[in-house]
Amino acid sequence: MQKHLVLHIASGDMESQEQFAAPYITRLKATGADTIPSDQTEIMTIDPTSVTQTKDRLKRFTQPPYLIGASLTIGGIIALTLVAFAKSSPTPLQASTSLNQIPGKLSSSLPAPAPSPIPLSTPSPSPSPQPIDPSALTPEERALNEKAKQELLQSSAPVDSFIEMKVAIAEKVLALTVSFSTATDALNPEGQAIGHFAANQSYSVEVGGDGIRINGKAFPGIVMISLPPDGLFTLNERTYHGHLILAVDGGKLWAVNQVNMRQYLHSVVGSEVSPSWDMEALKAQAIAARSYALTYYYKPMSGLFDLGATEYYQVYRGIEREADRTSQAVDETSGQFVSYRGGVVESLYAASDDIVMEAFQGKGMSQLGALDLAEQGYSHQQILSRYYPGTGIGQILMDQQ
């Protein structure tokens, strides 16, 4: 069955502020998209490139950036729904609210059994199930067990887990050191194994002519190291989730972390603000960071990476800055982003109002200002409305059909 990415953005009654919004707006465009405007509604149908094979993932690195628009493959349909902010000025909440509603349990569709005309004797208690010793499982049983666990995790994963970001974590350097939590292979751009890495062993990486040298062995100019879902790699003493791409360009080394949006934001929000902050301020930060990342997902810096990991973009430091409360803010706003008339807003932000004024002419969110509003009782929606007037919250949803 052919899979499509469907972007459905329903416009609400929003205040028109073209002059304010113009610096931020990035339209969701892709080659071959069909746009059908109707009653201020846009529906775009896109045929995304499969990312299930390594070759297809690496293919994106050699394409011109303008051909790399929406390679988001989730295995179903995604709907982006725009929820407009209220036009009135924000007022403090009287009680905290949650956007996430827990669905009720599904009732069985089977009819209840008819009562038996014959009295039943009290059944003897069934023996309690005995715990299984994992070490007693055969290799085949362990493989099946691991596969079942991964399928369960994937079926319940937030939508952020299905969006892959490519973050440059080392730019234009001469040498790197890297290690991996598990044994894995080095792959060339065709997806063929061209080398092997042992677990927990340090490897030196340097430029070698037009290619890469790893522990003195020659490799091509682009090498991908793919890791399992629970795998980690350490680059120059900083540890990351996801996969690693090593590339040579202009005689310098680049390292790119291919990581899903959820893990990326767990680090970004924890790196940008304190986990001790009010939860509504953390949620506002999570949505702003996701929106900022999406603008680079749809309009990447190059064919190799979407955006960088420094303060020039938004700070990304791998697993070292992950924290329970900042991760909670990311997960409870999963898929939400700042939107304006069917576009993703490049939601600029900085530490204080003074920096926002100096760097962005006052058009962005003050992180300390957001904290102050949250402590006054404002919700994260009201905080975002204050700093990005005339915008709404877009929602990426997984369609299970």
Per-residue pLDDT at 25 exceeds 90: no
179 near 203, Cβ under 8 Å?
A: yes
How many other C-beta atoms lie within 10 A of the C-beta of residue 153? 12
- Percent of the chain past pLDDT 90, that is, above it, reads 58
- The conformational region for residue 310 under phi > 0 = left, psi -120 to 50 = alpha, else beta, is beta
Condensed to tens digits (0 to 9), the pLDDT of residues 285-308 reads 999 999 999 999 999 999 999 999
Indicate the burial class of 56 (C-beta count within 10 angstroms; 0-12, 13-18, 19 or more).
Answer: middle
303-322: pLDDT as tens digits:
999 999 999 999 999 999 99
Q: Are 231 and 199 in contact, with CB atoms under 8 Å apart?
A: no
Owner of token pair 């009201």 = 382
Which residue, chain included where needed, has tokens 């999406």? 294
Contacts of residue 341, defined as CB under 8 A and 6 or more positions apart, other chains included, come to: 11, 14, 21, 25
Is residue 358 packed enough to be buried (19+ CB in 10 Å), middle (13-18) or exposed (0-12)? exposed
In the 3-class helix/strand/coil scheme, how is 307-336 assigned residue by residue?
EECCCCCCCCCHHHHCCHHHHHHHHHCCCE
Q: Scan for tokens 């924890």, then name that residue.
A: 270
pLDDT at 122 over 80: no
Q: Which pLDDT band holds residue 46 (cuts at 50, 70, 90)?
A: very low
Residue 195 scores a pLDDT above 90: yes
pLDDT of residue 50: 29
Residue 79 has pLDDT above 60, yes or no: no
Matching residue, tokens 């990304």: 316
Residue 64 to residue 288: CA distance in whole angstroms: 28
Instruction: State how beta strands 365-366 and 349-350 pair.
Output: parallel
pTM of the complete model: 0.67
Residue with tokens 């509003």: 373
More confident residue, 196 or 71: 196
